[in-house]
Structure 1
Amino acid sequence: MTILTLVRHGETDWNAGGRIQGSTDIPLNATGRAQAREVGEILAAEYAGRAAFVVSSDLSRAAETADVIAAALGTSVARRLPGLQERSYGDAEGMDAATFYATYGPWHAANVPNAEAWPVVRERALAALAEAVAAAPADTDLIAVAHGALIREVIMHATDGEFPREGERLPNCSVTTFRLDDEAWEMLAYAGVAT
């Protein structure tokens, strides 16, 4: 059995401006760094006396968030996993949300040229998390820092599509926690908020 905590990276200037980042490597801004410190302090208090194996996407916004969290826990990031990268949004990367909607329609149903297919995102996310679980020492919880759309896919997998609900989003530095027992997933804490 493994406790998995998924953390969305802190805010970037593109998040603040409502722009789609996808696989574009945008760094944290000052707000994002403050969010990372805050969630690091919260997790450090929660993990007092427990070991944590920290991994992240290799995109800088997730990597820096993970570095801050790991430092607060008195450890370092064990692995940077390309499989935890955000979905590539193809032709929509850099677009603001209103233009995206006007051009492609609803977020999750949009057919964007050159974008990564949703089933591929889910498959690589689950493979990367399985790799991290296998690499973590016994009796160690796993903290993975990744990206909003990827985390949504994991949540949808774990809850058979019950979450996130229509109109909910995962804020920057939000935390969602699961219990993994072999192939069985149980969501213990959910970070989605209504938009």
Structure 2
Amino acid sequence: MATCLVSNEQTINPAVAIPSDAEGPIEVPHDVAEIVIVRHGETTWNASGRIQGQLESELNEMGWKQAAAIAERLAKELKPTAIYSSELSRAKNTADMIAKNCHIPEVIVVPELKERHVGSLQGLVWSEIQEKEPEAYHAFFSTQNDLEIPGGGESFNQLCERSVAALEEIASRHKGERVIVVTHGGVLRAIFMSVTREASAGKVLNASINVLHLSEKKWNFKSWSDVSHLNEVGFLQRGFNGDSFQH
């Protein structure tokens, strides 16, 4: 199975966080869907170094503060037409706070936006997975993208395909509009690597804002890993990085 790639217009160096315009665009071009992709706030398992995957882990105190900071920032920018979210509570709770501040009556839940299922790695601490689940560890870090993770997990290609398809479906409904999508580190990583064809997405930070333009299946990142709104709140510096022992 080939790596999932999409048409793109721009390559971004993932080592450099590119902030978006704090005031937001005046308007979105009629043939473009602007998707603001947000990673959920920090959770108890993020803080403790435990792998979440599709298991539930609640926002911690820091995570709620981050969600509030995201919501405050986005409420000052161009109003979104809709807000979409993963069904997992850490994303949905972040999305609900954004929706309240942006005066959007409901959050649309899209199951395909949930985090990657990482099989038998779910619930383990990152530092112990190589010893406890060597086969799953190998599949997770392998460059062979069609390897499914033992224990019911997805391959990286499967994650890419559902994530890209979900965004393309959302974009098709919102030409000339701005929408917000709240999802997970693994999903963001998959989308970034599919669009830019980079070998790594770098750190995908909790509560980061990432702006993507989609036009006729051409994808263009306008900003990546922007956490300027968290200056007074703080965030985990290690972020999520599926290419290393960070999370």
TM-score range relative to shorter protein: 0.7 to 0.9
Aligned to 1:46: 77
For this pair of structures, how many residues does the alignment match?
189
Matched to 2:176, the amino acid is: D
Question: Any gaps of 5 or more consecutive residues in structure 1?
Answer: none
Question: Any gaps of 5 or more consecutive residues in structure 2?
Answer: 1-31, 228-236, 239-247
Alpha-carbon contact 2:99-2:107 (below 8 Å) kept: no
Aligned-residue RMSD, C-alpha: 2.2
Looking at structure 2, the residues matched to 156 and 17 of structure 1 have their Cα atoms a distance apart, in angstroms, of 27
Structure 1 pair 44–62 and aligned structure 2 pair: CA distance change class (3 A): same
Cα deviation code 1:47-86 (max 9, x no counterpart) = 2xx3331100011110010001111111134410000000
Task: Give the secondary-structure state (helix, strand or coil) at the position aligned to 2:76.
Answer: helix
Alpha-carbon contact 2:41-2:59 (below 8 Å) kept: yes
The correspondence for 2:216, drawn from 155, 171, 182, is 182
The correspondence for 1:4, drawn from 35, 43, 46, is 35
Looking at structure 2, the residues matched to 67 and 19 of structure 1 have their Cα atoms a distance apart, in angstroms, of 25
Alpha-carbon contact 2:52-2:123 (below 8 Å) kept: yes
Shift in Å, 1:135? 3.3
The correspondence for 1:109, drawn from 136, 142, 145, is 142
Q: Does residue 1:63 correspond to 2:63, yes or no?
A: no
Alpha-carbon contact 1:54-1:76 (below 8 Å) kept: no
- The TM-score normalised by the length of structure 1 is 0.88
Aligned to 1:92: 121
Looking at structure 2, the residues matched to 101 and 34 of structure 1 have their Cα atoms a distance apart, in angstroms, of 33
Structure 1 pair 119–97 and aligned structure 2 pair: CA distance change class (3 A): same
- The TM-score normalised by the length of structure 2 is 0.70
Q: Does residue 1:130 correspond to 2:159, yes or no?
A: no
Aligned residues: percent identity? 32
Alpha-carbon contact 1:66-1:77 (below 8 Å) kept: no
Aligned to 2:158: 120
Looking at structure 2, the residues matched to 77 and 23 of structure 1 have their Cα atoms a distance apart, in angstroms, of 23
Cα deviation code 1:80-136 (max 9, x no counterpart) = 000000000110001111112454259542864122111111111111112222334
Shift in Å, 1:163? 5.0
Shift in Å, 1:174? 0.7
